[in-house]
Structure 1
């Protein structure tokens, strides 16, 4: 599959790379890392990255603004996006061919070429693996811009190498990336930076989250609360691990209310499998980290009840 992806990329003049809405470091890191590898080794190709901007992560890579016409006859590559509903920039349908590169379970098998590896820590790790194939076939060399993006993506999805998805392969790839002349420390600082409002909301979460039997944590972040602290839903969602290290915690959920009354469900676990629960509520994800969405606080309570049941049976 890696060889097929490389061959397809080489056969297209125009390449547009997408990822999921409300991007995290891996979405942007894999998108940007792949874009830089192609741009810097095939300078005659047109390569674009598109999607909604996330101001707090613009230090990784900024998006291109392109016209609808640019999509004509373009190869579309979609990184880190399990289902079509979450693809950022719906114009991907205007392209000629689609490649899906992802590490989430492959429930939505969209695309003409599909490369899914659920054992990978991140899609950024997969892009490095693709680079190794490229290096073997064509002598491609890693570049500083690509390495910086891929490093940020791997760090983001492994929680700075603390999550169970971190493997020997992860460390081997990262050891190659850091040979490039960029500063990991200069990436860590903006990745972990919090506004004063975020910090104060984090304090609220620590004081008000519920600890329920059997080892389930939960917090409701309503629109009223977010307005009081002047924190956006996307910024609030990134606080999901605020109480992750509390002793006795097995799994936890953060409910974040959007302005349109949709409630985002952020699920995390230290062992019990939770992505099946997310799939029941318009979502999905990894066994220990998943997301969903509900349309009422009654539905949110249903998610919480089922999460408790999962932890009882784990």
Structure 2
């Protein structure tokens, strides 16, 4: 099985470098850093690093390591929660001697010498806990900090256990993780507290939005609008679920204009959207995806594709 092959590689390598996707979310960071904690707790003699851009929004979770290119020589590289190679944060991942992919997104981009992809898992953090469970007899140890990180990743990617991806196994793993010593209240506060300027923009969106007859909502956050509310493009991730409770909605998309591109955040309550995201340099889950476009004409094309998907969807 893939888990045993991964554990074998971890045991055989002295230097391990762990990557995840660009613009990380709690699951990307939780799985990446949680795996580091497991490996370091289990094998203190190994050198284990996590790399990628630091996102100030998630400083409460973890901060990345800084390493030289030479560190990759002879190293095992593990990429967590990243379906497509263009989305791997830090292109140096190819410099390692072997690459392992651990992910719960559909396996569109087949990369890595070992690939463990489980689309039934709620999150990659859930998979890392499963890896720990499988490897306890081989010496794997989970410490309190690793438990905190994995729990954060599971909570983040299940929307506090509300999303359909949540399974019996998810609840079982979460129940086991909360037996470790970390401050859940503080973690939830950091995950879900919202600054005033974000709330004001959220209020504006809810006041101004219109829903298509098909059940689609689309919002365009231009640079001018973001500047008016003093919201950075990175902070707009806190607005993704803004339409989640709207009655009758089938899917929604939020366009976020940056200097040289427009970030596309897609969510669905039924229609498959990751195939649409793939048309626009993106991908993800069937119900939660992201993409990148470069002009507002392409935004209208995305809206058209989503509108058609909503019209053709039936439960």
TM interval, shorter chain, is over 0.9
Which range is displaced more, 191-200 or 48-57? 191-200
Asked if 1 retains the 8 angstrom alpha-carbon contact of 2:41 and 2:142, the reply is: no
Query: What corresponds to 2:7 in structure 1?
Result: 6
Given that 2:41 and 2:141 are in contact with CA atoms closer than 8 Å, whether structure 1 keeps it comes out as: no
State the partner residue of 2:151.
Answer: 151
CA contact (8 A) 1:256 1:264 kept: yes
Within 5 Å, give how 1:16-165 maps onto structure 2: 16-135=17-136, 137-165=137-165
Aligned match of 1:214: 214
Measured in 2, the distance between the counterparts of 1:296 and 1:209 equals 21
CA contact (8 A) 1:275 1:285 kept: yes
Deviation at 1:210, TM superposition (A): 2.3
Indicate conservation of the 8 Å contact 2:28/2:81, yes or no. Answer: yes
- Output one character per residue of 1:145-196: Cα deviation in whole Å (capped at 9) or x when no partner: 1100000000000000000000000000011101101121110001112222
CA RMSD in angstroms comes to 1.0
1:276 deviation in Å?
1.0
Preserved CA contact (<8 Å) 1:278 1:291? yes
| Residue number in structure 2 paired with 1:171 | 171
Q: Distance in 2 between matches of 1:270 and 1:159?
A: 13
CA shift for structure 1 position 15: 0.4
- Confirm whether residue 280 of structure 1 aligns to residue 279 of structure 2: yes
Asked if 1:309 corresponds to 2:308, the answer is yes
Q: Distance in 2 between matches of 1:292 and 1:209?
A: 21
Q: SS of the counterpart of 2:211?
A: strand
**CA offset at residue 139 of structure 1?**
4.5
The equivalent residue for 2:294 is 295
Per the TM alignment, residue 224 of structure 1 is displaced from its structure 2 partner at its CA by: 1.1
User: What does residue 202 of structure 2 align with?
Assistant: 202
- Once residues 210 and 110 of structure 1 are traced to their aligned partners in structure 2, the CA distance between those partners, rounded to angstroms, is 41
Q: Is 1:190 matched with 2:190?
A: yes
Q: Assess if the C-alpha contact under 8 Å between 1:221 and 1:255 holds in 2.
A: yes
Provide structure 2 residue ranges, at least 5 long, that are not aligned to the other structure. none
Deviation, 1:237, is 3.0
- Aligned residue pair count: 312
- Hey, what does 1:223 align to over in structure 2? 223
Moved over 3 A (4+): none
Deviations 1:271-290 (A, max 9, x none): 11111111111111111111
Where 1:290 maps in the other structure, the secondary structure is: strand
TM-score under structure 1 normalisation?
0.97
- State the distance in 1 between where 2:55 and 2:139 align: 34
